[in-house]
C-alpha cells in the first residue's frame, strides 16, 4: 500500500482521533509521504518516533498494534498471562495515554497488568519487572530525544530489553496486524480486574536497593555538595530521596524539577548536549557545589560536571565511567572484596580507557553491540553459569549500571556513585578531573567525540544507507594520514584480517588506526542520524584534540559531507 492510499485510509476512518484527523487535513504532500511511506519500525529498542498522525509516527493506533504483537509473545512465556506485565511511563506528551492503552490491550488478551500510578524512570521499571516477578515490562519513553518524540520499549522477565532474537518474534506478530485502525480496545470495565495500580511499595524497595550500592557507607558527607537537575524528567524524586536519605547535601535546580513535556526551562533534555547544563552550572557557582549531575527524561542516563581548579568541567560518558571504575575497583581491592572472576561490560563504540582500567585490576572485559540489552543479556548468561561475576557495565552515551538488580542503564545508581566518588576523592584533596588525569598519565590520553549527521525523511534514510554502502564498497585504507590497520564490518561479521566477529549482526563499521585510535560509523537506532564515533589516542590532551579535528575532517571528506 503506497503512502497516498494509507493517508486516505486514515483520513476516511470514522473513529479516528479528532486531533489526528485535523493534523491529517493540514498536511502538505511531503509531510504525507513521510508520515505514511512506511510503518514506524519495531526493532530491538522497541519503537521511537515523532508524535503525530500516520503509520510512521507515534500515536495510539501504532501503540495498540505494537501491544498486540507483544501480548502474543507474552502468552508464549511460561505462565505469561498470570505473571503479567508491568508498565511505566515518563513525562512526555501522551505517555500516560500510551501506558493506559497498553494496559487495556494486554488485559484484553487476559494478561495481568501492573501500571505505575504516576511517572517513574526506566530503571525502576526494570527493577519492578524483577520485583513483581512479571513475564515482561513496557516503558513509554523517548529517552533523551527532543520533546516532539515518544517511544515504546519492551522488556523480558529479567528486566532487560528484548534481545534481537526475541524482538524479532514480537516484530513478526506486530507485522501480522494488517490494520492498526481495527485493533479492538476493551472497555476498562471489561478488564478492570486485570489492571493493577502500583507505586509506593516498589519505590521503597527500589530506593533501598540503590542505597545498597554505596561502597563506603560510613564516609562523612558533611563537606560535599551536589547540584542536581532531572531535566523535567522522571528521576526527580528517586534521586533526591535516595541522596537525602544517605545524608548528602543535594541542591536541586528547581526550575527544571517539574515534569514538563516541553522541557520549557532547559535548552536540551539530553546530557550529551553541553547547553543542557547551563542552569545547573549557574546554580553550582552560586552555592559552590563540588559536582553537578543531570539525568535525562526517563532517568537512565547521567551527565556529570566536576569542579576543577575553580572551573566546572563537563565529563564525557567515557571519562566519568573510567573514574567510576577506578573508584569501584580500587575500593573493592582495598576491602578484599574484588572477585577473582569479575567481569566488566562495555560496547564496541566505547573508549579503550575503561578497559585498560579494568584490566589493570585483573578484571575481565567483554564488549557488546551498542544497546544496553546486550549488557543485560551478558549478565543473565553469567548469572546462570556462575562463570563470571558482574562488576560494572556502561556505554559511552552516559549510561551505566552498578548493581544488577536493574538490567538497564540506571542514572539513580549513577548519581549515587558520582556523589560518592566526588566525596571520597575530595577528602584526598582531589576532584574527579584530577583522577581522570591520573588515569591518562597511567594508561594514555584519549579524546572521544561524536558527529551525528541528521538526515530526516525519505531522502535522509536513503542518504544514510548510501553512506554506509559506500564505506563498505570502498573501505578506507588511511584516514587523516594514518594507516587503517584493521577494519571491522559487524553487518557481515567480518574483519579485514579474515577473522570472524562473534557478535550479533549489526550495521556498524569500525576502523582501527596505526596510532592506537579508532573510528566507527553506524546509523542511529532511535533517530534519523548517521553517527560517527572517534576515540583518538594522543601523547597528551593537546595532541589528542588536534588529531581529533584532523580525523573528523578526513572522515567527513571520505563520505562526501
Active site residues: 143
Strands annotated E in 183-321: 195-198, 225-229, 249-252, 291-295, 302-308, 311-315
Query: Checking DSSP bridges between strand 364-368 and strand 342-347, what pairing results, if any?
Result: parallel
Residues 501 and 494: beta-carbon distance below 8 Å: yes
378-414 in b/e burial notation, b at 16+ Cβ within 10 A?
bbbebeeeeebbbbbbbbbbbbbbbebbbbbbbbbbb
Of 104, 108, 10, 121, the C-alpha closest to 59 is 10
Cα torsion 109, 114, 120, 126: sign? negative
Please give the backbone phi and psi of residue 318, each rounded to the nearest 5 degrees, phi first: -65, -45
Q: Specify whether the CB–CB gap between 400 and 346 falls below 8 A.
A: no
User: Is 107 within 8 Å of 71 (Cβ atoms)?
Assistant: no
Which three cell numbers mark 495?
A: 574483519
- What nine digits make up the cell of 474? 570502498
User: What are the DSSP E strand ranges found in 206-301?
Assistant: 225-229, 249-252, 291-295
Q: What letter would DSSP give residue 141?
A: -
CA 520 → CA 195, 451, 456, 461, distances in Å?
A: 45, 10, 21, 19
| Separation CA 495–CA 493 (nearest Å) | 7
- CA–CA separation, 420 and 221 (whole Å): 9
Question: Cell 552550572 appears where?
Answer: 281
- What is the rounded distance in angstroms from the CA atom of residue 508 to the CA atom of residue 491? 6
3-state secondary structure of 217: coil
CB atoms within 10 A of CB 454: 11
Amino acid at each position: 500500500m503506497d503512502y497516498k492510499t494509507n493517508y486516505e485510509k486514515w483520513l476516511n476512518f470514522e473513529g479516528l482521533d479528532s486531533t489526528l484527523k485535523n493534523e491529517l487535513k493540514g498536511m502538505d504532500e511531503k509531510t504525507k509521504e513521510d508520515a505514511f511511506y512506511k510503518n514506524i519500525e519495531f526493532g530491538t529498542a522497541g519503537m521511537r518516533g515523532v508524535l503525530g498522525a500516520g503509520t510512521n509516527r507515534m500515536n495510539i493506533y501504532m501503540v495498540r498494534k505494537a501491544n498486540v504483537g507483544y501480548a502474543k509473545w507474552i502468552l508464549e512465556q511460561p505462565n505469561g498471562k498470570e505473571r503479567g506485565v508491568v508498565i511505566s511511563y515518563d513525562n512526555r506528551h501522551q505517555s500516560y495515554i500510551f501506558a493506559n492503552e497498553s494496559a487495556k490491550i494486554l488485559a484484553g488478551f487476559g494478561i495481568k497488568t501492573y501500571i505505575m500510578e504516576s511517572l517513574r524512570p526506566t530503571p525502576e521499571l526494570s527493577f519492578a519487572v524483577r520485583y513483581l516477578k512479571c513475564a515482561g515490562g513496557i516503558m513509554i519513553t523517548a529517552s533523551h530525544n527532543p520533546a516532539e518524540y515518544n517511544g515504546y520499549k519492551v522488556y523480558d522477565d529479567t528486566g532487560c530489553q528484548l534481545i534481537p532474537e526475541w524482538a524479532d518474534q514480537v516484530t513478526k506478530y506486530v507485522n501480522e496486524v494488517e490494520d492498526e485502525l481495527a485493533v479492538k480496545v476493551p472497555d476498562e470495565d471489561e478488564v478492570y480486574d486485570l489492571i493493577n495500580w502500583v507505586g509506593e511499595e516498589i519505590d521503597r524497595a527500589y530506593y533501598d536497593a540503590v542505597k545498597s550500592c554505596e561502597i563506603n557507607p560510613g564516609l562523612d558527607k558533611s563537606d560535599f555538595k551536589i547540584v542536581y537537575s532531572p531535566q523535567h524528567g522522571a528521576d526527580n524524586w528517586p534521586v533526591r530521596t535516595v541522596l537525602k536519605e544517605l545524608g548528602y547535601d543535594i541542591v536541586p535546580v528547581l526550575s527544571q524539577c517539574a515534569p514538563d513535556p516541553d522541557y520549557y526551562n532547559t535548552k536540551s533534555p539530553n546530557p550529551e548536549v553541553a547547553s543542557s547544563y547551563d542552569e545547573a552550572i549557574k546554580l553550582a557557582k552560586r552555592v559552590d557545589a563540588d559536582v553537578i549531575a543531570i539525568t535525562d527524561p526517563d532517568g537512565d542516563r547521567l551527565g556529570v560536571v566536576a569542579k576543577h581548579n575553580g572551573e566546572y568541567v563537563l565529563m564525557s560518558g567515557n571519562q566519568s565511567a573510567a573514574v567510576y571504575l577506578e573508584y569501584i575497583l580500587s575500593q573493592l581491592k582495598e576491602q578484599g572484596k574484588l572477585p577473582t572472576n569479575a567481569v566488566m561490560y562495555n560496547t564496541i563504540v566505547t573508549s579503550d580507557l575503561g578497559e585498560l582500567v579494568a584490566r589493570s585490576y585483573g578484571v575481565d572485559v567483554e564488549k557488546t553491540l551498542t544497546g544496553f540489552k546486550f549488557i543485560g543479556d551478558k549478565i543473565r548468561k553469567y548469572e546462570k553459569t556462575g562463570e563470571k561475576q558482574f562488576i560494572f557495565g556502561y556505554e559511552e552515551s552516559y549510561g551505566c549500571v552498578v548493581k544488577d538488580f536493574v538490567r538497564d542503564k540506571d542514572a539513580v545508581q549513577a548519581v549515587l556513585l558520582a556523589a560518592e566518588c566526588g566525596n571520597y576523592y575530595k577528602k584526598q584533596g582531589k576532584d574527579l578531573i584530577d583522577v581522570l588525569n591520573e588515569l591518562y598519565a597511567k594508561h594514555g590520553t584519549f579524546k572521544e567525540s561524536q558527529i551525528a549527521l541528521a538526515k530526516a525523511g525519505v531522502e535522509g534514510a536513503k542518504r544514510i544507507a548510501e553512506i554506509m554502502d559506500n564505506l563498505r564498497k570502498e573501505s578506507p585504507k588511511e584516514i587523516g594520514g594514518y594507516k587503517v590497520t584493521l577494519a571491522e564490518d559487524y553487518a557481515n561479521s567480518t574483519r579485514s584480517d579474515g577473522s570472524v566477529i562473534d557478535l550479533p549482526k549489526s550495521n556498524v563499521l569500525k576502523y582501527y588506526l596505526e596510532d592506537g585510535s579508532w573510528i566507527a560509523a553506524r546509523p542511529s537506532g532511535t533517530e534519523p542520524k548517521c553517527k560517527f564515533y572517534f576515540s583518538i589516542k594522543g601523547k597528551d590532551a593537546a595532541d589528542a584534540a588536534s588529531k581529533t579535528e584532523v580525523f573528523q575532517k578526513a572522515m567527513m571528506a571520505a563520505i562526501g559531507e
